[in-house]
Structure 1
Amino acid sequence: MKKNRRIGISFALTIMMIVLVLAGCGSTAPAPGPGTDASKSNGGADSSGQAAASTLDAIKKRGKLIAGVKFDTKLFGLKDPGSGKVEGFDIDLAKALAKQILGDESKIELKEVTSKTRIPMLNNGDIDIIIATMTITEERKKEVEFTDVYFKAGQSLLVKKGSPIKSVADVKKGVKVLAVKGSTSTTNIRAKSPEATVLEFENYQEAFTALKAGQGDTLTTDNAILYGMVKQDPNYEVVGGTFTDEPYGMAIKKGDTTFASYVNDFLKSLQSNGQYEKLYEQWIGEKPTK
């Protein structure tokens, strides 16, 4: 009887030890305490969508702003193949932002983006902000945080002088329209001229080269970009006025309202101190519309 009791006690102790070992192996990390969001502990976003750490903090810690800009868009962001220098309205705004954050406009890295690559690059953390002739749309608002409007543009048409195309009403069946992949211009022209043939290119320089080579009848995008092409080659002209509103905004990673608010304050300060108007006139050639 005593022997059976000893066996029973030994068996019970063995079971207890197994339970304790299993409990200890269950997790090496403590459970989140009261008020702790589990998603924040792994660098994610909280339930409101606010980024766990602001891009602004990352820029200050890094000591450099990484801006996604165009390299192929005269007046806004165009790279000189000889010098390698990138210049334009968007570029100067990016430099002014770097100076605002870090006290030195040279503390900036300019990374090339296209209409197709800019949002993926932002979401992947390759860039801190998009400053690249990006139209604010409801669809894009689902993917990024937009700042206030910093440039008001409108879609138009570029043709060779003497072309029978004078407006979007002339873009009918048989007309070949050149546009850029991932741009709102492509969507808009298909809606306005559903019978026309739309050919898409990777960037604006490729599209303009194709137009000059006779691969299409007209090129469509925002009028501000088209005016830059006219400056490159005066044999072409912008026609038909504008048939859309294309407000440009800077784009920041979704949920980072802290950095978005900071950039909005930066834009307001540029307008109040006259620097915005100065840059606008320098690149666009006229005073900004109110």
Structure 2
Amino acid sequence: MARRTTWRALALLPALALTAAGCAQSIAPVSGDGELQFVEAGKLTTCTHMPYPPFQFDEDGEHVGFDVELVDLVARDLQLEQKLFDTPFEGIQSGEALNTRKCDVAAAAMTITDTREQNMDFSEPYFDAKQALLVNAKTPYQDLPELRGKKLGVQLGTTGEEYAKQHEAEHGYEVVQFEDVALMANAVQTGKVDAAINDNGVVLDFAKKNPDTKVTAEYATGEAYGIGIQKGNAQLVQKVNDSLRKARESGEYDRIYQKWFGKAPEQSGETPGQ
């Protein structure tokens, strides 16, 4: 099996150490009389990891994206204002960020998996995804088997990384980990890696904006995104699900989808590029 290399900014290590240490807030998600309580009064604090366009990223000094607008609808229905908390994805997908009350919900284009469901509860699925292979437009690589002896970039802690590792021995490439999708995609552009794999929504968006790259393969993995909520907080799960259903019924979901993916879904949750 090829050796795995980790490319991570040393500056992130203190932050990760603090994450591991806990730093939990004393507030509980539900009060003794059954009322929802939030990390910050008047706010719905959302853990995310940026940049991950078109789902969440900064543009002209503002947080924007598909996930951002969708959770804005949830916040509106709760009579709150959404506040984003940018934090490493490892702490989100492990449930640590929710358990230590850094946020009320987690919306980070996060796939619902059996492992993650052990660490947190999820809303109903709101988006379907595949994995996709991003390459430099000048290279000939069309699929994973062609990467034998080459370097394949992944984002740390993602299902794309899991998929790459599952096929690493079979195809003989070297997995190279990156802290975020921007570093991963830039490595494809500069030739630090020969290809990269990640969710098709973000990879297709990157290739569209950067014609020196292209997507050459997609892999149907049956993935669906969900909004993460601290385990056992059934009341907030229900509120989030109510908002998602309301958005679909009113057409607001389709409007937001059209805005960020250039078309309305033929069926709710359709993946761009299908």
Confirm whether residue 71 of structure 1 aligns to residue 50 of structure 2: yes
Aligned twin of 2:86: 112
Question: 1:169, CA displacement in angstroms?
Answer: 3.1
TM-score, scaled to structure 1: 0.76
Query: Which SS does the other structure have where 2:192 is aligned?
Result: coil
Query: Percentage identity across aligned positions?
Result: 26
Matched to 2:144, the amino acid is V
Matched residue SS, 1:67: strand
Q: Distance in 2 between matches of 1:282 and 1:53?
A: 41
Q: Could you tell me which amino acid in structure 2 is paired with residue 164 of structure 1?
A: P
Match of 1:141 among 117, 125, 136: 117
Q: 1:132-175 CA deviation, whole Å, 9 max, x = no partner?
A: 10000001100000111100010110011142211233233x12
How much does 1:244 deviate?
1.7
Whether the 8 Å contact between 2:30 and 2:37 is mirrored in structure 1 is no
1:72 maps to amino acid: P
Contact 1:136 1:146 (C-alpha < 8 Å) held by counterparts: yes
Give the letter aligned to residue 238 of structure 2.
Answer: S
What residue is the counterpart of 2:180 in the other structure?
203
In structure 2, which of residues 206, 215, 219 is the aligned counterpart of residue 229 of structure 1? 206
Output the amino acid matched with 1:59: F
Task: Measure the CA separation in 2 of the matches of 1:256 and 1:207.
Answer: 34
Deviations 1:235-276 (A, max 9, x none): 111111224222100000011111111111111110000000
Counterparts of 1:140 and 1:54 in 2: how far apart (Å)? Answer: 29
Counterpart AA for 1:199: V
**Cα displacement (A) at 1:116:** 1.2
Give me the whole-angstrom Cα distance separating, in 1, the residues matched to 2:190 and 2:32: 49
Q: Secondary structure of the equivalent of 2:265?
A: coil
**CA-CA distance at 1:84 after TM superposition:** 2.2
**For residues 248 and 203 of structure 1, what CA distance do their matches in structure 2 show?**
18
Q: What does residue 196 of structure 2 align with?
A: 219
Larger Rg: 1
Instruction: Choose 83-92 or 227-236, whichever is displaced more.
Output: 227-236
| 3-state SS of paired residue (2:215) | strand
Do the aligned partners of 1:155 and 1:245 also contact (CA within 8 Å) in 2? Answer: no
2:234 to 229, 245, 257: 257
Query: Is the CA contact (8 Å cut-off) linking 1:69 and 1:90 kept in structure 2?
Result: no
Report the CA distance shift for 1:63/1:54 in structure 2 as closer, same or farther (over 3 A).
farther
CA distance in 2, matches of 1:142, 1:51: 20
SS at match of 1:62: coil
Question: Is 2:44–2:82's contact at 8 Å kept on the other side of the alignment?
Answer: yes
Which structure 1 segments of 5+ residues have no match? 1-41, 45-49
Secondary structure at 1:245 match in 2:
strand
Q: 2: distance between equivalents of 1:228 and 1:280?
A: 13
Structure 2: stretches of 5+ with no match in the other structure: 1-25, 268-274
Residue 176 (structure 1) aligned with residue 157 (structure 2): no
Q: Which whole-Å CA distance do the structure 1 matches of 2:168 and 2:33 have between them?
A: 43
**TM (normalized to structure 2)?**
0.80
- What letter is aligned with 1:117? G
Q: How far off is 1:117 after superposition? A: 2.4
Q: Which of these residues, 231, 245, 265, is aligned with residue 222 of structure 2? A: 245
Q: What does 1:1-290 align with in structure 2 at a 5 Å threshold?
A: 57-59=36-38, 62-80=41-59, 83-102=60-79, 107-118=81-92, 119-172=95-148, 174-194=149-169, 195-290=172-267
Letter of the structure 2 residue corresponding to residue 176 of structure 1: K
* Paired letter, 1:66: T
Root mean square deviation of aligned Cα: 2.3
Gap change, CA 1:60 and 1:138, over 3 Å in 2: closer
Q: What's the offset of the Cα at 1:288?
A: 2.0
- Higher RCO, Cα 8 Å, sep 6+: 2
Report the AA paired with residue 135 of structure 1.
Answer: T
Q: From the two aligned structures, give the one with the greater helix fraction.
A: 1
Q: Post-superposition shift, 1:61?
A: 7.9
